[in-house]
Amino acid sequence: MAEVTAQMVKELRDRTGAGVKEAKDILVQTEGDMKKAIEILREKGMKVSDKVQGREANEGRIELYVHPGSRMAAMVELDCETDFVARTEDFIALSKDLALHIAAMNPRYLKPEDVPADVIAESGETPEKYYEQYVLLAQPFVKDGSRTIEDKIKETVAKVRENLVVRRFVRYEIGG
């Protein structure tokens, strides 16, 4: 069994936002296996996300990304439950990542339920493929294609322990 060091606990905390005791306990449980520990914490985070999902999110921030050259911009409203969380590094980083992602990937809809059935039929693609291309929450995250935007939001929910909601977004492009 590998000894759990303070450096290992710090790394796990940095990567997941877990508390010191929780990070240490999970590393002991996984015998120092960082990948297993991260996976367990992600699963716990998904459970936290499910618990807070129905709560009101009336605070937050509007984030703006302007592409160099000022020919394209994206704006997103990301809401949370308290103004305290809206000022945290994790929340601000998520809002910046979302604005950048919207600028780069140009989603047309927020969630799958927003897409009219006739639009999918006209596209000739499967609903899943269409969602992956044009629905923000279903798109692979531009900085890490192994996670969707919804996964990214759920990970931040697990860290901040509050419901987070992308309320709306818009993308502007010169001539577009």
Structure token pair of residue 73? 């911009």
DSSP 4: P
**Class of the 6-52 domain?**
mainly alpha
How far is the CA of 17 from the CAs of 21, 22, 39, 148, 156, in angstroms? 12, 10, 13, 19, 9
Q: Is 3.30.479.20 the CATH number for 59-173?
A: yes
**Which sequence spans correspond to the domains of the chain?**
6-52, 59-173
> What stretch of H or E contains 127?
helix 127-134
Query: Which residues have CB under 8 Å from 55's CB, separation 6+?
Result: 81, 162, 163
This prediction has a pTM of 0.74
Per-residue pLDDT of the chain (176 residues; tens, 9 = 90+): 568 888 888 887 777 767 778 888 888 888 888 888 878 877 776 565 566 666 788 899 999 999 999 999 999 999 999 999 999 999 999 999 999 999 999 999 999 999 999 999 999 999 999 999 999 999 999 999 999 999 999 889 888 889 999 999 999 999 86
